[in-house]
Amino acid sequence: MSSDPLVIFTPSGKRGHFPVGTPVLTAARQLGVDLDSVCGGRGICSKCQITPSYGEFSKHGVTVADDALSEWNKVEQRYKDKRGLIDGRRLGCQAQVQGDVVIDVPPESQVHRQVVRKRAEARDITMNPSTRLFYVEVEEPDMHKPSGDMERLVEALEAQWQLKGVKTDLHILQGLQPALRKGKWKVTVAVHLGDENQPPKIMHIWPGYYDGTLYGLAVDLGSTTIAAHLCDLKSGEVVASSGIMNPQIRFGEDLMSRVSYSMMNTGGDQEMTRAVRDGMNALFTQIATEAAIDQSLIVDAVFVCNPVMHHLFLGIDPFELGQAPFALATSDALSLQARELDLNIHPAARVYLLPCIAGHVGADAAAVALSEAPDKSEDLVLVVDVGTNAEILLGNKDKVLACSSPTGPAFEGAQISSGQRAAPGAIERLEINPETKEPRFRVIGSDIWSDETGFDAAIATTGITGICGSGINEAIAEMRMAGVLDASGLIGSAEQTGTARCIEDGRTNAYLVWDGSAEGGPRITITNPDIRAIQMAKAALYSGARLLMDKFHVETVDRVVLAGAFGAHISSKHAMVLGMIPDCPLDKVTSAGNAAGTGARIALLNTKARREIEETVAASRRSKLRSSRVFRSILSMPRPFPTRKNPSQFWPQ
């Protein structure tokens, strides 16, 4: 075993041992980590910025000391003085390995940045936003009727718009009198309409008639990515959508790794809270710039997230979520002000978090329920939102059950030998000819298949860099259908399968998808450990669904809805071949895209929907997977491909 320091890169998960004094950039290059550099390591371009993480990382089995990297040097200081460098960042060409270290490569330092594939789905939504514009004419002051300008504005709102008991904040009072006089006692006010727990409140004031609009944000705060949709609160139109990698990835790819980091590092929870809020603000600035709007016009925001992200975003230590009985600090919906969360939008903007269902079944599951409405379905529908942590709903108009299942990051390309996040150059679609066993594929950034004319020219810029989540899942399903992979998950030899693409890999075999080594590119293979990682992930997913079905006393479901970015990019056939979902006719398996994000938009644009989902969550029931003997027994069973009673639908026996 090597005595050299262990260097672990996130979000790629690649690791290796390197001698003391090795520059981080050199280690990244040798491991094939996507770290940019155009100046040849001279400390000029700053493209190789990295963020080291310190403390105890139980998942990686390392403790990172404060002196894990060489000291800050003159080159880095000179660059920071001239161009600026974010606190905590280092230049990969200058920082040298001194001990075990975990290194995060931020998106701007990656040559092939991840594509956050959580678009806004088309949906008809009834408009009933929480904040609206009101134009009023205010009575001028009169010495014979002593009252303040604010009191007369409140009276005008009640008389002209039937808004009763309107309140305001100090920042409105500070600008009220100039606005009234500039508008000649005619003003437009933005009013948050309140609810049963809080009165209407003035949020902004414009002199005269303001013919613009107000904006809101629907935010899907995931373990791996953060996606936001900027919406016009008058029309409901999605003005802009954008996403970033969750900055917390450097503390752990899965949720329990982050809980563990919080437990083992004093102040670790606060560190992760700062990271996610800073990332959120960077995303909001990015999306406002894209839409060419003033961020102060964003007056409402709705967030959906899993319970661990919920707690860390709110600044609550997730310690209790790391141990039974997985108690939430609160499961109710929350209505807060943006300034309480350090969010750079309108200072009085409201923030609404959907309710968590319980334990590890969070507001993201509630948002999926709001979007797909299983509680209104006549037939029995299984809704699966696939991610690092999967949310599973099963129900109809009679009742809805929900659970969360720990699938891990394998479905998203992590922990896979040639895996990577979804970025230009990553294989995202793959087919294998059952006769020749030859593959053909498509990469992100091109619509041309690898066996079609023009493919080489189409990928000239991106190249072929690895395989992402949808690609690895399609590859394994296609290997099974082509006879390269047996039902137990073992890859056959070249003699057994009749193809030279099956190559020896230690004591087992691997399937060669692409060999670019002659041109200095990667050699992309599917190995048996890759198969095992997908088997474990799909077993957790299937087990969760199976447990809910047992609670319903059914053997089949009427239809299946695949949600989430992953669900939108894998075909129902491949999902069925892998055994990710229970038996169901293929024409009854559909994709809902980013259902959690759609649920967030519905809650943003229609406050009535907020009350509805709160009632639905209160009525729903939670199944405890971890403590369930049924779950453990299903999870520990052999994980064949597929987990079906009738596999002949896909290939002859």
Residue pLDDT, tens place only, 488-510: 889 999 999 999 999 999 899 99
Q: How far apart are the first and last CA of the chain?
A: 46
Give pLDDT, residue 642. 60
According to DSSP, the β-strands at 90-91 and 508-515 are: unpaired
Can you tell me the mean pLDDT for 117-127?
64
d(CA 101, CA 4): 11
Domain membership of residue 516 (yes or no) is: no
Tokens found for residue 263: 């437990």
Can you tell me the mean pLDDT for 217-242?
91
Helix (H, G, I), strand (E, B) or coil at 338: helix
Helix (H, G, I), strand (E, B) or coil at 568: coil
According to DSSP, the β-strands at 439-443 and 426-432 are: antiparallel
540: enclosing H helix or E strand: helix 528-552
Bridge partners, 544 (sequence order): none
Of 28-42, 253-267, 284-298, 606-620, the poorest mean pLDDT is in: 28-42
Going by the DSSP 8-state scheme, the letter that residue 23 receives in this structure is B
Task: State whether 29 and 102 are in the same domain.
Answer: yes
Give pLDDT, residue 538. 85
Residue 47 CB neighbours (<10 A): 18
Q: What is the pLDDT of residues 301-358, one digit of tens each?
A: 999 998 999 999 999 999 998 887 888 999 999 999 999 999 999 988 999 999 998 7
CA atoms within 13 A on the CB side of 199: 11
Task: State whether 19 and 98 are in the same domain.
Answer: yes
599: enclosing H helix or E strand: helix 595-605
Domain membership of residue 25 (yes or no) is: yes
Give pLDDT, residue 23. 93
Q: Are 451 and 441 in contact (CB under 8 A)?
A: no
**Residue 119 pLDDT exceeds 60:** no
**Which residue range forms the structural domain that includes residue 70?**
6-109
Task: State whether 86 and 163 are in the same domain.
Answer: no
Cβ-Cβ contacts under 8 Å for 185 (sequence gap 6 or more): 137, 138, 139, 140
Token match 């998942």: residue?
59
Q: Is the dihedral of CA 245, 411, 476, 393 positive or negative?
A: negative
Give pLDDT, residue 217. 97
Composition of the chain by helix, strand, coil, percent to 5: 35, 25, 40
Counting the structural domains of the chain, the total is: 2
Tokens found for residue 171: 């920042």
CA atoms within 13 A on the CB side of 628: 22
The one-letter amino acid code at 287 reads I
Can you tell me the mean pLDDT for 23-50?
81
Q: Are 629 and 548 in contact (CB under 8 A)?
A: no
State the burial class of residue 114 (Cβ atoms within 10 Å of its Cβ: 0-12, 13-18, 19+): buried
Give pLDDT, residue 414. 67
Q: What is the pLDDT of residues 422-472, one digit of tens each?
A: 778 889 999 999 999 999 999 988 999 999 999 999 998 888 988 988 899
**Residue 623 pLDDT exceeds 50:** no
Helix (H, G, I), strand (E, B) or coil at 131: strand
Residue 196 CB neighbours (<10 A): 5
Task: State whether 143 and 202 are in the same domain.
Answer: yes
Domain membership of residue 197 (yes or no) is: yes
Domain membership of residue 148 (yes or no) is: yes
Domain membership of residue 34 (yes or no) is: yes
Give pLDDT, residue 290. 92
CATH of the domain at 177: 3.10.20.880
Query: Residue 330's closest CA among 347, 345, 313?
Result: 313
Going by the DSSP 8-state scheme, the letter that residue 230 receives in this structure is E
3-state secondary structure string, 250-268?
HHCCCHHHHHHHHHHCCCH
**Domain boundary, last residue among 207, 224, 248:** 207
Tokens found for residue 132: 């609206």
d(CA 4, CA 19): 5
Task: State whether 105 and 10 are in the same domain.
Answer: yes
Tokens found for residue 161: 């718009």
Bridge partners, 358 (sequence order): 361
Domain membership of residue 20 (yes or no) is: yes
Distance between alpha carbon 423 and the CA centroid of its chain, in Å?
15
Token match 């001990």: residue?
99
Q: What is the pLDDT of residues 562-621, one digit of tens each?
A: 887 666 677 788 888 888 888 788 888 888 878 889 999 999 999 999 999 998 888 764
**Segment 624-632 long-range contacts (CB within 8 Å, at least 24 positions apart):** 624/359, 624/403, 625/403, 625/404, 625/405, 625/543, 625/544, 625/547, 626/324, 626/326, 627/324, 628/547, 630/546, 630/547, 630/550, 631/543, 631/544, 631/547
Q: What is the pLDDT of residues 62-90, one digit of tens each?
A: 899 999 999 999 988 888 887 788 888 99
Give pLDDT, residue 59. 73
d(CA 310, CA 485): 40
Q: Which has more confidence, 120 or 294?
A: 294
Domain membership of residue 467 (yes or no) is: no
Task: State whether 84 and 148 are in the same domain.
Answer: no
Give pLDDT, residue 113. 56
Task: State whether 142 and 59 are in the same domain.
Answer: no
Task: State whether 162 and 68 are in the same domain.
Answer: no
Angle at CA 601, nearest 5°, toward 192 and 129? Answer: 25
Bridge partners, 298 (sequence order): 215
Domain membership of residue 74 (yes or no) is: yes
d(CA 531, CA 418): 12
Task: State whether 100 and 140 are in the same domain.
Answer: no
Helix (H, G, I), strand (E, B) or coil at 426: strand
Q: Are 624 and 359 in contact (CB under 8 A)?
A: yes
Q: What is the pLDDT of residues 256-276, one digit of tens each?
A: 888 988 988 899 999 999 999
150: enclosing H helix or E strand: helix 149-161
CATH of the domain at 50: 3.10.20.30
**Domain boundary, last residue among 207, 222, 248:** 207
Task: State whether 20 and 93 are in the same domain.
Answer: yes
Q: Which has more confidence, 31 or 334?
A: 334
Give pLDDT, residue 651. 46
d(CA 170, CA 158): 21
Of 228-232, 386-390, 556-560, the poorest mean pLDDT is in: 386-390
Q: Are 246 and 225 in contact (CB under 8 A)?
A: yes
Task: State whether 193 and 137 are in the same domain.
Answer: yes
**Domain boundary, last residue among 165, 181, 207:** 207
Tokens found for residue 322: 């790391």
Task: State whether 26 and 83 are in the same domain.
Answer: yes
